[in-house]
């Protein structure tokens, strides 16, 4: 069986029929972020359209579509986790250079664990803002636009996160040293 559409009109019908359900599927099962779920679904539809001549579906088109969206979502999650780990390593390296006594007194695994614990103590919105800035490299303006909040809200959440992280890490290191 080949793809269910051969022209743009069939594709539009296929898209309209499955778009909302697919967004809900990706959101509820994988991402819990509506914007990312929509992006994943649109990317999935684009891949299918761009490869329509090479795709040979041996199962139902709907099953194929959901499996393709699942794979795209999982690829996105792997990529996002990889970015976070890289940025966390870079931040830890910078921290090691700024405070060399920390490196002498605590091994890097212990420090990474304590940073993750401190991040877990942040409120979800504050943590998201902090991660977007520190791990994703977004500017305050970009975060404000992305989250539909004011730049001042972004600034205050970053400041709050840095204070909490500094205090938690300082307290933890004092207790452990």
Res. 152: pLDDT tops 90: yes
Span(s) in the chain for CATH 1.10.10.10: 99-176
Give the integer Cα–Cα distance in Å for 23 and 33.
Answer: 10
Span(s) in the chain for CATH 1.10.1740: 8-77
| pLDDT for res 138 | 85
Q: Which two tokens stand for residue 83?
A: 């970015």
> Looking at per-residue confidence, does 44 or 81 come out higher?
44
Average of per-residue pLDDT values in the chain: 76
Fold observed for domain 8-77: Rna Polymerase Sigma Factor; Chain: A (1.10.1740)
User: How does pLDDT run across 110-136, given as a tens digit for each residue?
Assistant: 667 777 788 888 898 998 898 888 877
Nearest to 132 by CA among 111, 161, 152, 112: 161
Helix (H), strand (E) at residue 84: helix 61-98
User: How does pLDDT run across 22-66, given as a tens digit for each residue?
Assistant: 888 888 777 777 888 888 888 888 888 887 777 766 667 777 788
Res. 106: pLDDT tops 50: no
Give the integer Cα–Cα distance in Å for 142 and 165.
Answer: 23
Confidence of residue 167 (pLDDT cuts 50, 70, 90): confident
Confidence of residue 103 (pLDDT cuts 50, 70, 90): very low
Q: DSSP label at 19?
A: H
pTM (two decimals): 0.44
Res. 18: pLDDT tops 80: yes
Return the CATH number of the domain spanning residue range 99-176: 1.10.10.10
Phi and psi torsions of 2, nearest 5°:
-100, -175
Q: Which residues of 121-135 are buried (b: 16+ CB within 10 A; e: fewer)?
A: ebeeebebbbbbbbb
| pLDDT for res 34 | 85
């Amino acid at each position: 069986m080949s793809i269910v559409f051969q022209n743009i009109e069939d594709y539009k019908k296929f898209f309209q029929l499955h778009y909302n359900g697919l967004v809900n599927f990706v959101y509820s099962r994988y991402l819990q972020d509506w914007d990312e779920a929509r992006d994943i679904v649109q990317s999935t539809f684009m891949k299918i359209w761009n490869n329509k001549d090479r795709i040979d579906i041996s199962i139902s088109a709907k099953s194929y579509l959901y499996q393709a969206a699942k794979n795209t979502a999982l690829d996105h999650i792997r990529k996002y986790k990889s970015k976070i780990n890289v940025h966390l390593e870079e931040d830890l390296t910078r921290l090691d250079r700024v405070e060399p006594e920390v490196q002498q007194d605590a091994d890097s695994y212990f420090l990474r664990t304590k940073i993750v614990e401190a991040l877990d103590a942040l409120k979800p919105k504050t943590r998201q803002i902090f991660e977007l800035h520190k791990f994703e490299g977004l500017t305050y303006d970009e975060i404000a636009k992305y989250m539909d909040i004011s730049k001042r809200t972004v600034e205050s959440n970053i400041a709050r996160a840095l204070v909490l992280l500094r205090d938690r890490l300082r307290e933890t290191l004092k207790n452990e040293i």
